[in-house]
Structure 1
Amino acid sequence: MARIETPTFIPSREIARSFEKRGYRLLASPTLYSGQTVRARVVAADANSDTLTVSLYAKHFNGTDDLSSLQSDPRELTPGQSAVLTWRVPDTHCYPIAQIGVQVTGNGGQAGTVLLDYLTWDGAPDVVLDRPAERERNRTTGLPARCCGKQRGSMALTAANALSTSTTGRNHTASSRTADAACLCRARANGQIIKSRRV
């Protein structure tokens, strides 16, 4: 199996800590969110001796700041065949996506070559950043606060705080404060955060 990937957020907690040791807190917003559509055009080399299996995958942070993986449905490529892989990124339950890439697997360990023409994504995110307070349910939606409290890692808080900060000063009411005053931010059709309010 071979993978090629590109970062869409802070690649690891260790990198964030390296900034903190220098006296800076690293705040960042992911460039890829749940609900967006990823597309990649791949071409199997003519010289391949067998069929290869390709798929898109994403790595996102979880509640312990480790990386969890999600993967699209696999697609088989015969020698010389090209394909455009399309994948709507699933719900990561508020956790930021750190990397996106292409995975190639040979049948029975068979080696081969796959050329990547492009990898891109578009569309409006479909994500709700919930308030990271230690309670069982969100007071506004009444839904379980699955992204809240101790179950939510610091990398998720970094993304939420950065997004809240980025909306301030643009006719929004988002707060840049941390866990005790985060916002419920819902992405709309144009991909911009146009509704932010305290919960």
Structure 2
Amino acid sequence: MSAGRVGIRLIRRRDARVLEQLLRSNRAWLSPWEATYPGNPGPTPGDVSLKPAIKRMRQQFSEGRGVPFVVTYDGDVVGQLSASDISRGALWSASVGYWIDGAHAGKNITPTAVALAIDYLFVSVGLNRVEICIRPENSASLRVVEKLGLRYEGRRLRYIHIDGAWRDHDSFAVTREEAPGSMLARLETRAPTEPGRP
């Protein structure tokens, strides 16, 4: 799936090398926003092979529990985006997370990639709701949901262990009914607005 120079596609095992290199070269840019494990720092992203993680992500995809994408710009891999915690039953929802190479930030790549992913989740997976949870200090990521016009749902206190501590996150969401047509069309026609938060 693509829109202009930006694309997303399912992650492949052979993407491991370029993703590892991007994670290593973006340590300072990404570490404040990366998940950590309480009482156990775990491996530093990019310093271990991603092939086992990619294998797990693809297994979750085959089981219908997640959709792991790479983000591309002019055909080159520049980041990663995942839909996780896909729920069926009475919920039909997923959470989206993403990261991008710092050298490519500010080019509207991430909002476009997220819009493409949400369209895929609504149309191809059939979900009703997609949410994105963001640390309130992460101004770059907050701009993504603002550009997309996602609805603010509230603050989740001490929600995810990030960068060595439990961190609050602001929750944003969109339902299929809130985005008739497509999220990509919504992104392309939205005028810049102020954040939809109190």
TM range (shorter): under 0.3
TM-score normalised to the size of structure 2? Answer: 0.25
Structure (1 or 2) with the greater helix fraction:
2
TM-score normalised to the size of structure 1? Answer: 0.25
Structure with bigger gyration radius: 1
- Choose between structure 1 and 2 for higher RCO, CA contacts under 8 A separated by at least 6 residues: 1
